[in-house]
Amino acid sequence: MMNVKVLTLFPTFFDSFKETSIIKRALDKGSVHFEAINFRDYTLDKHNNVDDTICGGGAGMLLACQPIVDAIKANRTPDSKVVMLSPQGKKLDQKLVHELARNDDIILLCGHYEGFDERIRDYVDEEVSIGDFVLTGGEPAALVVSDAIIRLRDGVIRSDSHEDDSFENGLLEYPQYTRPVAFEGKMVPDVLMSGHHENIRKWRLKESLRKTYLRRPDLLETRKLNEEEHKFLQEIIEEEKQSR
């Protein structure tokens, strides 16, 4: 069982996420528990303030220590992984998704306004960014992280349906087709209709390499290629030269 708690000022943000498709099914089955909890439930002042002006001046408001830290303390267990969403965090990729998904108990902190009082970071195990851009709050980022980790948990989707996903083997996924075999003159590649499993495997590997070479050559810089992959990549480089 995986327990995901999102601490946020806007719990309703997550309503449609909980009620839709694969995530809904995972929650209904009980393989995942997902809960969005309001920081405001932990304020001690009579106005339920969670934010305050910034010391030293400047525009905007910051989430203050007391309600945020109390919310963390009230919801974490000794096994919890407390993750702050922020553009200053480690950039999310599928490797980090796998690491996060290994935790049975995860707490996601969503900032809003100008962000968090710096001292809140002392109560956090990991800070994660979903990319080099700035959102109005951490909620869309927490949604992205929740979705990506929940789908990797046992029984949520068939494991053979994520083995070939983009990034799982360091490459983009190969092109895929469904019927009809001909659509507006565009054909499904013959090999995929041949029933020849070894040829299909080779085609998929080569086309996966081609997509990666054309769209994300940076992924090939760090990935080791075996002999077969190396041969395919040389062929692709020649073929792409010819077609230009």
Question: What distance in Å separates the CA atoms of residue 147 and residue 22, rounded to the nearest whole number?
Answer: 9
What does DSSP say about strands 182-183 and 126-129: parallel, antiparallel, or unpaired?
A: unpaired
Question: What distance in Å separates the CA atoms of residue 110 and residue 85, rounded to the nearest whole number?
Answer: 6
In the complex with ligand ADE, the residue whose CB is nearer, 87 or 170, is 87
Q: For binding to ligand ADE (CB under 6 A), which residues are involved?
A: 85-87, 111, 129-131, 133-135, 138, 141
In the complex with ligand ADE, the residue whose CB is nearer, 120 or 130, is 130
**202: helix, coil or strand?**
helix
Residue in the structure block whose two tokens are 């092109």:
175
In the complex with ligand ADE, the residue whose CB is nearer, 67 or 89, is 89
Half-sphere exposure of 16 (CA within 13 A, CB side): 3
Question: Which residue's C-beta sits nearest to ligand ADE?
Answer: 141
In the complex with ligand ADE, the residue whose CB is nearer, 43 or 86, is 86
Half-sphere exposure of 70 (CA within 13 A, CB side): 14
Q: Closest approach of Cβ 13 to ligand ADE, in Å? A: 13
In the complex with ligand ADE, the residue whose CB is nearer, 42 or 116, is 116
Q: Closest approach of Cβ 28 to ligand ADE, in Å? A: 28
Q: Closest approach of Cβ 143 to ligand ADE, in Å? A: 11
- 162 in Cβ contact with 169 (< 8 Å): no
Q: Provide the annotated active-site residues.
A: 87, 114, 151, 165
How far does the chain reach from its first CA to its final CA, in angstroms? 52
What does DSSP say about strands 186-187 and 182-183: parallel, antiparallel, or unpaired?
A: antiparallel
Q: Closest approach of Cβ 87 to ligand ADE, in Å? A: 4
Question: What distance in Å separates the CA atoms of residue 205 and residue 228, rounded to the nearest whole number?
Answer: 9
From residue 102, how far is each of 91, 93, 160, 168, 214 by CA, in Å? 18, 15, 18, 16, 32
Q: Closest approach of Cβ 215 to ligand ADE, in Å? A: 22
